Structure 1
Amino acid sequence: MMEVAAGHDERDVVLRADSLSKRFGGLLAVQNVSFTQYAGEILAVIGPNGAGKTTLLNLLSGVYRPTSGRLWLLGRDVTSDAMEARCHAGLGRAFQIVRPFPEMTVHENVTVGALFGKHGTRLPEAREQAYELLERTGLAAHADKAAHELTLLQDKRLEVARALATRPQVLLLDEVMAGLRPAEAQEAVALVRSVRESGVSVLFIEHLMPVVRDLSDRVVVMDQGQVIASGTYREVTANPQVVSAYLGTETELHA
């Protein structure tokens, strides 16, 4: 088992990956990835295209089973658990490519998430939870719209609302800022902060370095399927290996 960082104890750990690897035939897409995430933490995963970030997220959420390694969620070994079991155990995910039920209303889409997330949730309770989440995510005014009528930013908010409807304790976000204009990205940053304030720990993949800087407590950097650095934003962006593999020049970094 990995060591617990100074200032934390074992009870603070919400997600722990220990030497996770995933092989597709001759390709080792993820190799011996280890990290620990703590309660209330916003953890960023960055790296160049092909670094293995989305494969890692698929290992965490249960889309893929690891070739080797272990994963713990809230102290429980979930390495062999299916996606739905991990969801019921407290792990939620919002995808980069948003695929709501297009002909259903915004409220109905979130209601489905509430029904799926926890065993025994009844429809009236799920509907009420969905309305509360639409308020939190700024979609209440669009509750009765068909999902296909939403803008891209609203789509992203709906994806987060659907994931939150499962009542996760850890939320995985896969490039939820992709395609957004700068002002829209800042709105999305505020939304993610509000998610953390509600008691949910967040792990996110992102290419926009200003977003990573403004949002993350710590950063894990991947390249060629491996973790090459981890630490605060300041620490990893000062790491010569990270600059060489991903960030480029200092001018590019701070653009």
Structure 2
Amino acid sequence: MTAGPLAPRAAPLANAGSPAVLRAQGLSKRFGGLLAVSNVSFDLFPSEILAIIGPNGAGKTTLLNLLSGVYRPSAGRLEIGGQDVTNLSMEKRCHLGLGRAFQIVRPFPEMTVLENVTVGALFGKPGTKLAEARERAYTLLERTGLAPHAEKSAHDLNLLQDKRLEVARALATNPTVLLLDEVMAGLRPGEATEAVELVRGVRESGVSVLFIEHIMPVVRDLADRVVVMDAGTVIAGGTYQEVVREPRVVEAYLGGEVTDATDD
């Protein structure tokens, strides 16, 4: 997919002088003889949008799985809000403020849109009452433009609405950090622009965002900083304008067709 022109992004709200809300230090993951992620380090700051880009097989999805707790690292350390979460489960990371929206959207099809988001609210904070969870869920449906579809079966949503539901369900867990795995995938240019505005709204609410994306206009217009991976390692980092001038980035990633690529 090729995205059309997007509105210029707002001035960064990130505060690099503040403590990192998420810190990866030397993260590595080995599957047998394959080193899928090797010594990856970066910080994510409050109210920052950070993009992770790279060619197929770069290790981006494996890295996201390390951050969210799907995999435990073979080496390295991960902190959320200054707390070591390296060996904590996905559930405990969620309770500490880490949310994730997946590329392949899998709502509970037998539930309504409101019920799907209510589940997220109940899961994110132990002890939450059902009435409180439903109230938070409906507020998030209003923020994500899904309130008119609250009582509709999740099975009946279109792709853009599915993406919005995935983000709303992740936000319902009350994260301080939201991981997004190619949420623009499959969207038409106009839909991608709407999704960009949705992510900006997430950041403006005080949530830091880390996202994987192949559509370079989206990365350009959305990210405060960009981390570039190739063959499991970080090869560049900085603003979009800085990384696209890096010779290693041009050779590894920007020299080919990237907007239609799929992740590893």
- Alpha-carbon distance in 2 for matches of 1:150, 1:240: 43
- Alpha-carbon distance in 1 for matches of 2:149, 2:57: 37
- Alpha-carbon distance in 2 for matches of 1:39, 1:118: 21
SS in 2 for 1:13: coil
Equivalence map 1:182-221=2 (5 Å): 182-221=189-228
Q: Find the counterpart in structure 2 of residue 120 from structure 1.
A: 127
Runs of 4+ in 1 over 3 A off after TM superposition: none
> Larger RCO: Structure 1 or Structure 2 (Cα < 8 Å, ≥ 6 residues apart)?
2
Of 173, 180, 185, which aligns to 1:173? 180
C-alpha displacement of 1:253: 7.9
SS in 2 for 1:51: coil
Q: Find the counterpart in structure 2 of residue 132 from structure 1.
A: 139
- Alpha-carbon distance in 2 for matches of 1:129, 1:8: 30
Q: Find the counterpart in structure 2 of residue 45 from structure 1.
A: 52
Of 37, 61, 65, which aligns to 2:68? 61
TM norm structure 2: 0.91
TM norm structure 1: 0.94
SS in 2 for 1:112: helix
Note the residue ranges of structure 1 that are not aligned, 5 or more in a row. 1-6
SS in 1 for 2:211: strand
Letter in 2 for 1:121: T
Q: Find the counterpart in structure 2 of residue 152 from structure 1.
A: 159
C-alpha displacement of 1:8: 3.5
- Alpha-carbon distance in 2 for matches of 1:244, 1:8: 29
Letter in 1 for 2:236: A
- Alpha-carbon distance in 2 for matches of 1:24, 1:141: 45
How many pairs align? 246
SS in 1 for 2:67: helix
Letter in 2 for 1:210: P
Letter in 2 for 1:137: T
Q: Find the counterpart in structure 2 of residue 161 from structure 1.
A: 168
Q: Could you give the per-residue CA deviations for residues 112-139 of structure 1, whole angstroms, max 9, x where no partner exists?
A: 0000001111000000000000000000
Q: Could you give the per-residue CA deviations for residues 50-96 of structure 1, whole angstroms, max 9, x where no partner exists?
A: 10000000000000000000001011000010000000000000000
